[in-house]
Amino acid sequence: MAQHTDQEAALKIASGRKAFVEPLRLGERLKEIRLANQWTLEDVSQKTGLARSTLSKIENDQISPTFTAVQKLIGGLDIDLPQLLSPPRQQTRTMGRRDMTRRGEGQRHPTPTYEHELLSCELAQKRMIPFKTIVRARHFEEFSEWVRHDGEEFLMVLDGEILLYSEFYEPLRLIAGDSIYFDSDMGHALVSVSEEDATVLSVCTRRENT
Amino acid sequence: MAQHTDQEAALKIASGRKAFVEPLRLGERLKEIRLANQWTLEDVSQKTGLARSTLSKIENDQISPTFTAVQKLIGGLDIDLPQLLSPPRQQTRTMGRRDMTRRGEGQRHPTPTYEHELLSCELAQKRMIPFKTIVRARHFEEFSEWVRHDGEEFLMVLDGEILLYSEFYEPLRLIAGDSIYFDSDMGHALVSVSEEDATVLSVCTRRENT
DNA sequence: ATGTCGTGTTCACAATAGGAAACCAGGTTT
DNA sequence: AAACCTGGTTTCCTATTGTGAACACGACAT
């Protein structure tokens, strides 16, 4: 973790959170694709409608293309985003990473209804997202709409007692030690029903990036 | 002249089924995500480092964000491209399964060193495997060899105190409330060091089907 | 009322991306 | 040699993005 430029560091501080800005060699990748297909800049220009010069600058990381430009690229070259962005298939498993979080030392992230504490957030590129939550909500009405996010979620009540509302089921009462696993794209919402605000531990699957 | 047009048409058909650039309501989608998480423009600004005004204009499709801007978005909000771009991703899975396990009602699975209790084991085809463990081992020597399994593991100490031995690190002392995330193909082993046997909650990723 | 937060939008300007043309190789042809 | 191509880079200049400040609107106080 010593490869941070000042700008990246500043960004981290400014954003207050992780901001794991991956290198994302988009230009490099584009060039790869172009050469792999033996296309010339002019060819690509024809296909995409972008100027030769623009393409050159993108490949050399001299400019950051506009999103419309990216669309023209993926449209014109008939590729898709993942293909453009996932050249670094490095992923090299088995590197033995680890990231420990002491009690209460996670990154706190308050909302009106929940108070989240993200755990192990030093580690990017992980397949699960663990976090502890203090359930501040007391009534279902406090939620403007269902909470939902792609993937699956596992949840265990650590303290207190909650009511789990979900889109397709009756509300479920859970006390400390109880746990539940569910598809998190089904709307859901938690409220505390114990005297003190309940706390739960959740683990979500991260969305697969193809 | 006509030939030129034909050529272009042929090119389109050959190279791009999606010759026309789809609308791609990126702004709309961003707003969805923002509201779904009950974030304000200012919040998102903090998280991403982009100006409030910029975000507003992006949401209202008044500008096409630069790719660096998009990166800041996905980085700051901890989402990924597909999530940002695929609003119609709904109704794919959304089957809303769930599986609840009351405290102590999981499937017990004892070993000499650990006493596992599998949670939510009614549900097949899930991406995570949650289980609670009573750590009976008291000395590292009780393990004949490293525990290791493909994927990643998240672990939180529920009661007591443990020592986490791992292949590439010094032993780590964890007490109730502490948590850790690690690549589980790295050898690991737990021993209780508190008076009573410690209990931990673990969640493992299931082996990928690739 | 008036004030003052907090949220989202709209200025006006600075920063930067996109495009046309000029430029610079290195090959061919003459 | 010089006169071409051809593919890639660089130089302008314009169009657009990105930003801070000002603005408008409500909510909620005083």
Neighbours of B165 (CB within 10 A): 19
Among all strands, which nt has the closest C1' to A40 (CA)?
D7
Q: Which of B21, B51, B85 is the last residue of a domain?
A: B85
pLDDT value at position B61?
87
Q: Are residues A65 and A155 in the same domain?
A: no
Residue B96 lies in a domain: no
Q: Are residues A75 and A132 in the same domain?
A: no
Partners of residue A169 on adjacent β-strands: A166
- Of B12, B83, B100, B153, which to mutate for an interface test with A (greatest number of A Cβ within 10 Å)? B100
Cβ proximity of B57 and B63 under 8 Å? yes
Tell me the C-alpha distance between B48 and B87, whole Å: 21
Neighbours of B131 (CB within 10 A): 21
Partners of residue B159 on adjacent β-strands: B199
Q: Would the CA dihedral through A68, A70, A75, A77 be positive or negative?
A: positive
Cβ proximity of B181 and B203 under 8 Å? no
C-alpha closest to that of A105 among B24, B98, B180: B180
Tell me the C-alpha distance between B81 and B164, whole Å: 36
Q: Are residues B111 and B76 in the same domain?
A: no
Q: Are residues B124 and B190 in the same domain?
A: yes
pLDDT digits (tens, 9 = 90+) for B92-122: 455 778 899 999 999 898 888 999 999 998 8
What is the domain range of residue B27?
7-85
Is A147 close to B36, i.e. CB distance below 8 A?
yes
| A53/chain B closest Cα distance in angstroms | 18
Q: Are residues B47 and B77 in the same domain?
A: yes
pLDDT digits (tens, 9 = 90+) for A30-75: 888 888 778 889 989 988 889 999 999 998 888 999 998 888 888 8
Tell me the C-alpha distance between B65 and B77, whole Å: 16
**Which pTM value belongs to this model?**
0.56
Identify the CATH number of the domain in which residue A126 sits.
2.60.120.10
Residue B1 lies in a domain: no
Residue A146 lies in a domain: yes
Residue A2 lies in a domain: no
Residue B189 lies in a domain: yes
Residue B42 lies in a domain: yes
Tokens read off for A25: 């060699």
Is B203 close to A203, i.e. CB distance below 8 A?
yes
pLDDT band at B91 (very low <50, low <70, confident <90, very high): very low
If you write DSSP's letter for every residue of B22-44 in order, what string do you get?
A: P---HHHHHHHHHHHTT--HHHH
B37-CA/D28-C1' distance, Å: 24
Instruction: Name the residue among B67, B177, B201 with its Cβ closest to that of A103.
Output: B177
Q: Are residues B142 and B56 in the same domain?
A: no
Residue A130 lies in a domain: yes
Which backbone phi and psi does A166 adopt, to 5 degrees?
-145, 155
Q: Are residues A121 and A60 in the same domain?
A: no
Q: Are residues B138 and B73 in the same domain?
A: no
Q: Are residues A36 and A119 in the same domain?
A: no
Q: How many domains does chain A have?
A: 2
Tell me the C-alpha distance between B142 and B56, whole Å: 60
Identify the CATH number of the domain in which residue A34 sits.
1.10.260.40
Is B154 close to A210, i.e. CB distance below 8 A?
no
* SS3 assignment, position A36: helix
Q: Are residues B140 and B71 in the same domain?
A: no
| pLDDT tens track, chain A, 210 positions | 333 333 333 333 333 333 333 446 788 888 888 887 788 899 899 888 899 999 999 988 889 999 988 888 888 777 766 666 655 444 445 578 899 999 999 988 888 889 999 999 888 778 899 999 999 999 998 887 788 888 899 999 999 999 999 998 999 999 999 999 999 888 899 999 999 999 999 999 876 543
Mean pLDDT of B49-74: 89
Neighbours of A74 (CB within 10 A): 18
Q: Are residues A55 and A127 in the same domain?
A: no
pLDDT greater at residue A125 or residue B49: B49
Q: Are residues A112 and A73 in the same domain?
A: no
Residue with tokens 């771009």: B85
Torsion region of A151: left, alpha or beta (phi above 0 gives left; psi -120 to 50 gives alpha): left
Residue A101 lies in a domain: no
Q: Is B210 exposed, middle or buried (0-12, 13-18, 19+ CB in 10 A)?
A: exposed
